[in-house]
Chain A
Amino acid sequence: GQNIDQPTEMTATEGAIVQINCTYQTSGFNGLFWYQQHAGEAPTFLSYNVLDGLEEKGRFSSFLSRSKGYSYLLLKELQMKDSASYLCAVSGNDYKLSFGAGTTVTVRA
């Protein structure tokens, strides 16, 4: 089975940095994804990690440690439009995605 944990909510100030942690226990591993989802919309792809280390993409970075079953998504220079739900998803056997419950990030002025 799959078990993916991430915090429920986080609040931060505009311009600040927020780190969303995700821990997982899965059967089979073909990579870890981070998605952003605004209310009422489908998820949009942010990042993909399959090897250990940090992947940087503009204001967003994602880190993976396979031995620890741990990842984080780092959001820098927060903007109001970054207020959304952030989903950690693990690709297991047959490339099926198992999603965490999502972390709602609220950015305040």
Chain B
Amino acid sequence: GAVVSQHPSRVICKSGTSVKIECRSLDFQATTMFWYRQFPKQSLMLMATSNEGSKATYEQGVEKDKFLINHASLTLSTLTVTSAHPEDSSFYICSARGSRDYEQYFGPGTRLTVT
């Protein structure tokens, strides 16, 4: 149980375009989803916390107009990188937490490359 999927696993896009990444909890209802970014040889950095039906809470230094997060249902959250630039190239990972869980369940990650 507690499986989280992400789609796509890899995406290459041109500078200036937008990319949407989906995060789904497959066998549980995720009241909270988290979006992380990881640059090479660095640790995971929390970008934002997403609660179903409400606006996402962004960490300091993360542009909310650039990284649009939608948590429309208890099983789906999306992250849209708008007007992507090469410096946005990174490994984006989501995680999901149920209402009674202390643990976060991680998705497999999405490798974004902006050319």
Within 8 A of A (CB), among B87-115: 91, 93, 95, 97, 102-109, 111
What band does the interface of chain A fall in when counting residues whose beta carbon is under 8 Å from B? 20 to 34
- The answer to whether A42 and B93 touch across the interface, beta carbons within 8 angstroms, is yes
Enumerate chain B residues within 8 angstroms of A100, measured Cβ to Cβ: 43
- The answer to whether B46 and A91 touch across the interface, beta carbons within 8 angstroms, is no
In whole angstroms, what is the CA distance A80 to B95 when docked?
28
- Measured CB to CB, the nearest residue on chain A to B101 is A95
Does B62 sit within 8 A of A, measured CB to CB? Answer: no
**Closest Cβ of chain B: how far from A12's Cβ, in Å?**
20
Supposing A96-B46, A96-B49, A101-B43 touch, asked if A30 and B102 sit within 8 A by C-beta, the answer is yes
Supposing A95-B32, A95-B97 touch, asked if A42 and B43 sit within 8 A by C-beta, the answer is no
Digit string of A28-41 for contact with B (CB within 8 Å is 1, else 0)?
Answer: 00110100000011
Main SS of the interface on chain B? strand
Does B11 sit within 8 A of A, measured CB to CB? Answer: no
Enumerate chain A residues within 8 angstroms of B105, measured Cβ to Cβ: 45
Within 8 A of B (CB), among A57-109: 87, 89, 91, 94-102
- Measured CB to CB, the nearest residue on chain A to B46 is A96
Does B72 sit within 8 A of A, measured CB to CB? Answer: no
- Measured CB to CB, the nearest residue on chain A to B111 is A40
Enumerate chain A residues within 8 angstroms of B44, measured Cβ to Cβ: 43, 87, 89, 97, 99
Within 8 A of A (CB), among B37-88: 42-46, 49
In whole angstroms, what is the CA distance A91 to B46 when docked?
12
Supposing A87-B43, A96-B34, A98-B46 touch, asked if A48 and B108 sit within 8 A by C-beta, the answer is no
Q: Which 9 A-B pairs have the closest CB atoms?
A: A99-B43, A42-B106, A42-B109, A99-B44, A101-B43, A102-B43, A42-B108, A42-B93, A43-B106
A contact set with B: CB distance below 8 Å: 30-31, 33, 40-45, 48, 50, 87, 89, 91, 94-102
